């Protein structure tokens, strides 16, 4: 009972810290999106968003699966009272992630023109990709360190890194904007990507500095211990990474095809990129704002569920699943009501764009299912079912892609919003049914 109380207290404290950092980050990000929409315009936002599939794919290859694996194994080692083993898993993860990050950055840097033209379909993305290639090394370092602290359920460091990254990104771009204005020029798209790189660097400096001051020093692991941890970490990270890569390839195809199918609907290239920028750069940033709470819960659900499973505490697992479903549904329906009532006002007030308001109002319906699917996926990861979450996410991507390919050329962008809603409903319902079957 005492252990359960401590676990609950740690979980709540960690969630609050991550949520607070997330709220502050999202608020800063809100103003940043408004600033970008008024300096580079809707079409510029569309081009900016076009490189997000490359960014997401790069992170999937270099750090996403490794970070999740570090978090799980660190929590398991700490449950066994073995902090040295936890540190070894971090070391192994850093070595693997750094090697992949350097390789990925070099490939993107040397092939930026080809990727922009052949994959993204717009040569204007090439200089953005060249700058983006410098972001993967610092990104992987702080991702691994954050995974270590998530495993310890100490969220202050990841929260601080999150804030540092956003402040550095926004502050550096605004500084470049002011310098450009003083020279009679305007903000350019590569400048916004340099801001992203500087944000990753700032986050890395913070995470490394705090880790050096707070981590307990221990002897270097024996070679056999290092190899054993490497095998364990790789056995989990490889399928997770493969899953994320496949999902990101599907998602990339989905995002790249949206402007293409909008042109088939009758838009010009400029109009298609503008609508894409309004949807992804404006409306989705509003819809995703409340998810800062569920994202914080998701991050801590994995080590909590993993530790409960390792100790055979099925009562804690059942109670966590039940509370998660109840909380996500409550938050989701409240957000749906808020967006239905004020969506049009938000679009006009925040971005000065009526279409953004229409998107926000329509997308408001996805909130309960979006928040449920993200948290339940984290629980499935913690229970050791990454393959199931991969299949669920693949189903969601397939549903959205079918809407993009078949419905958007006929009904326009609103049919894609219907596709998003349909995909989230399918994933949330299937996740609940699977968890019910696995836990009974």
Q: How far is CA 374 from CA 9, 243, 325, 439, in A?
A: 22, 16, 11, 19
CB neighbour list of residue 220: distance below 8 Å, 6 or more residues apart: none
Q: What are phi and psi of 155, to 5 degrees?
A: -95, 0
Q: Which two tokens stand for residue 46?
A: 């569309």
Q: What SS3 class is residue 342?
A: helix
Token pair, residue 118, equals: 């052949």
**pTM attached to this predicted model:** 0.70
Task: Tell me the CA distances in angstroms from 108 to 104, 125, 188, one per residue in order.
Answer: 6, 12, 20
In tens digits, the chain (440 residues) has pLDDT values of 444 444 555 555 555 666 676 677 777 877 887 888 788 887 888 888 888 889 988 988 998 888 888 888 888 777 777 778 788 888 889 999 999 999 999 999 999 999 998 888 888 899 999 999 999 999 999 999 988 888 887 777 888 888 889 899 999 999 999 998 888 888 888 999 999 999 999 999 999 988 888 765 455 555 657 788 888 888 888 877 887 888 888 888 888 888 889 989 988 888 888 888 888 878 888 888 777 666 666 656 656 676 676 667 777 777 777 887 888 888 889 999 999 999 898 888 878 888 889 999 999 999 889 888 888 887 787 777 777 888 888 899 899 999 999 999 999 898 999 999 999 999 889 988 988 888 77
For the CA atoms of the chain, what is the radius of gyration?
22
Per-residue model confidence (pLDDT) at position 221: 57
| pLDDT at position 1 | 44
What are the angstrom distances between the C-alpha of 408 and each of 201, 254, 280, 400, 413? 39, 12, 16, 10, 6
Q: Please tell me what DSSP assigns to residue 220.
A: P
Spacing of C-alpha 378 from chain mean position: 13
Instruction: State the pLDDT at residue 18.
Output: 61
Coil, strand or helix at 46: helix
pLDDT of residue 361: 92
Measured CA to CA, the distance from residue 424 to residue 329 in angstroms comes to 13
**Do 37 and 274 form a contact (C-beta atoms < 8 A)?**
no
Angle between helix 291-310 and 2-39 (nearest 10): 150
Q: CB pairs under 8 A, 24+ apart, for 409-418?
A: 409/261, 409/264, 409/265, 410/265, 412/262, 412/265, 413/258, 413/262, 413/265, 413/275, 413/279, 414/362, 416/258, 416/279, 417/359, 417/362, 417/363
The dihedral region occupied by 41, where left means phi > 0, alpha psi between -120 and 50, and beta the remainder, is: left
Distance in angstroms (rounded) separating the CA atoms of residues 96 and 288 = 31
Domain range for 199 is 2-439
pLDDT of 3 reads 46
**DSSP E strands, 282-325:** none
Residue 203 has a pLDDT of 92
Contact 302, 384 (CB under 8 A): no
- Separation between Cα atoms, residue 7 and residue 146, nearest integer Å: 19
Query: 14 and 153 in contact (C-beta within 8 Å)?
Result: yes
44 φ, ψ (degrees, to nearest 5): -60, -40
Q: How many domains does the chain have?
A: 1
pLDDT on residue 5: 45
CA 424, CA 426: separation in Å to the nearest integer? 5
């Amino acid at each position: 009972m005492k252990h359960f109380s401590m676990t609950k207290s740690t979980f709540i404290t960690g969630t609050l810290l991550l949520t607070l950092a997330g709220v502050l980050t999202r608020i800063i990000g809100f103003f940043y999106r408004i600033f970008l929409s008024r300096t580079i315009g809707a079409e510029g936002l569309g081009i900016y968003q076009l490189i997000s599939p490359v960014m997401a794919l790069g992170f999937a290859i270099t750090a996403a699966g490794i970070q999740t694996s570090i978090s799980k194994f660190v929590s398991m080692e700490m449950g066994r009272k073995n902090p040295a083993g936890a540190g070894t898993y971090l070391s192994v993860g850093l070595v693997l992630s750094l090697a992949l990050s350097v390789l990925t950055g070099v490939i993107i840097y040397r092939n930026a023109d080809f990727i922009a033209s052949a994959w993204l379909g717009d040569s204007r993305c090439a200089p953005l990709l060249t700058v983006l290639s410098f972001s993967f090394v610092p990104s992987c370092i702080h991702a691994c360190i954050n995974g270590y602290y998530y495993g310890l359920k100490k969220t202050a460091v990841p929260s601080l890194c999150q804030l540092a990254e956003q402040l550095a990104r926004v502050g550096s771009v605004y500084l470049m904007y002011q310098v450009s204005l003083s020279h009679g020029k305007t903000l350019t798209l590569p400048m916004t990507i340099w801001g992203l790189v500087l944000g990753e660097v700032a986050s890395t400096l913070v995470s490394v500095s705090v880790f050096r001051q707070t981590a307990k020093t221990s002897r270097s692991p024996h070679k056999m211990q290092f190899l054993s941890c490497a095998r364990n970490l790789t056995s989990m990270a490889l399928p997770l990474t493969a899953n994320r890569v496949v999902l990101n390839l599907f998602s990339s195809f989905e995002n790249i095809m949206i402007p293409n199918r909008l042109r088939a609907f009758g838009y010009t290239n400029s109009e298609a990129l503008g609508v894409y920028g309004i949807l992804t750069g404006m409306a989705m940033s509003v819809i995703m704002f409340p998810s800062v709470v569920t994202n914080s819960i998701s991050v801590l659900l994995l080590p909590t569920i993993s530790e409960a499973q390792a100790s055979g505490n099925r009562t804690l697992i059942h109670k966590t699943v039940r509370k998660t479903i109840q909380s996500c549904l409550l938050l989701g329906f409240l957000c749906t009501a808020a967006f239905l009532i004020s969506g049009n006002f938000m679009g006009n007030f925040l971005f000065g764009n009526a279409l953004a308001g229409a998107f926000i109002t329509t997308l408001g319906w996805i909130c309960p299912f979006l928040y449920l699917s993200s948290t339940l996926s984290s629980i499935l990861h913690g229970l050791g079912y990454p393959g199931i979450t991969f299949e669920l996410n693949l189903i969601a991507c397939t549903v959205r892609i079918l809407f993009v390919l078949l419905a958007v050329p006929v009904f326009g962008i609103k049919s894609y919003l219907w596709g998003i809603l349909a995909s989230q409903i399918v994933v949330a319902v299937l996740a609940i049914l699977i968890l019910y079957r696995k836990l009974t």
